[in-house]
Amino acid sequence: MAGRPATKRTGPRRDRTEGKAAIAQAGAKTTVQSVPQDSAGPSGWTVAALKVYLAQVRLEMGRVTWPTRRELQAATAVVMMTLLVFAGYLGMLDWILRRVFR
């Protein structure tokens, strides 16, 4: 519908097998939020949608658990050692196969 904003129901989680009566009996309150619908341009993005998206990205980046310097160095060392082991293995395999097929 073009004239009415979309609605989004929020409330307690429930099993799909439960009916609406189960929520009403538990005394849970369900609220209705109005979700505005912007008239989207040809690509579907608007300036307002971009601002909302960037605000959500910033919020999520704040929730990230970043590794400490020590954890990062340990993980990097593991990756480098793994690369060296595989490079050595492939180098040996290449040398052996070159000798066999000459």
18/28 Cα distance (integer angstroms): 13
pLDDT of residue 102: 87
36/1 Cα distance (integer angstroms): 12
Domain ranges of the chain: 6-63, 67-102
Could you tell me how many residues make up the chain? 102
pLDDT 10s digits, 6-21 = 665 555 655 555 555 5
24/87 Cα distance (integer angstroms): 64
pLDDT of residue 44: 72
Q: Which of 40, 36, 30 is nearest to 3 (CA)?
A: 36
pLDDT, mean over the chain: 79
pLDDT 10s digits, 70-97 = 999 999 999 999 999 999 999 999 999 9
Instruction: State yes or no: pLDDT of 31 exceeds 90.
Output: no
- CA dist 15 to 22, 23, 29, 43, 77, Å? 10, 10, 16, 37, 46
